[in-house]
Structure 1
């Protein structure tokens, strides 16, 4: 008898990827995205937010890639809305969350948007100065995935900037060895925003 309750508890408390029920269908979600874009173009922020929330509660598609692409479209729409509203702290949280959920794919764009947001919030010279004072970066393994996360703490901004990985897939980076930030960053798209 106890075993049945234990099994029931395990079944009910274990998330099952892909079986989560969404309130709206994929097609409805696509309509919400279109409505959000239209309202955003007309600076109707309240309706834009409402449609974004409905799109988030819609099925992302019929395969993993479709869901990832839909999530990216929604994230970029939300980014545009929050930028227009000058809600920079919310933008930074949004981008950080999106990068952690991306499993390493397509995060160069998100890194660049994050640096743009820091520039909007603090000004280019202060952000350049903060990045300029960084010597080394840290490497940690993402708990939810197989990939590694690079990070630097920007003392001047009291902000930790996480950026995409670039490691040989057959080797594990030695996180104990200090890594020169400038050597890694200078070839990244986000770094071009800090020049001149």
Structure 2
């Protein structure tokens, strides 16, 4: 019996912009690689799940990226950054910072899927306080939170670990947090449980052992 080729799941979105949107050209390209009976799964993290033949993966990614779609692996990786709508403007709410942060962390391997979120003001439309890692722009700086959990009887807001930091400090801090989780997290241990076991103060110490200049 002939063995069927493996299908690979790909996460796709329109990148970080003013809201979660796709244009007509992007939708047409996606439809090119779907059969009539195929379905797209829309996740709560502003992504579409799309299945493609493993042998076509690289080619399809290039086609998608050519029309402005961003592609990410599905599984035990850092998700693409969930964001707000930047309703007060790209610069005022820090869209360039969100784009750079997403570029640095999305797709990194971790023990279990990690969900980061960003919002450009205290209204918090990007829901940073109830995701694994949250960033909130406050005036001219950025606050960083860890250990939020949106679901379950033990749902809770994240704990602030840095306040009013500048972009370079923010990037390095998030990089360190993810690296610490990747190194010390147990197999299948989600980030919320890791933070409770490892300790928020221990995480903070990772950020202050080598003070930022």
* Structure-1-length-normalised TM-score: 0.29
Q: Which has the higher strand share?
A: 2
* Structure-2-length-normalised TM-score: 0.27
Bigger radius of gyration among the two: 1
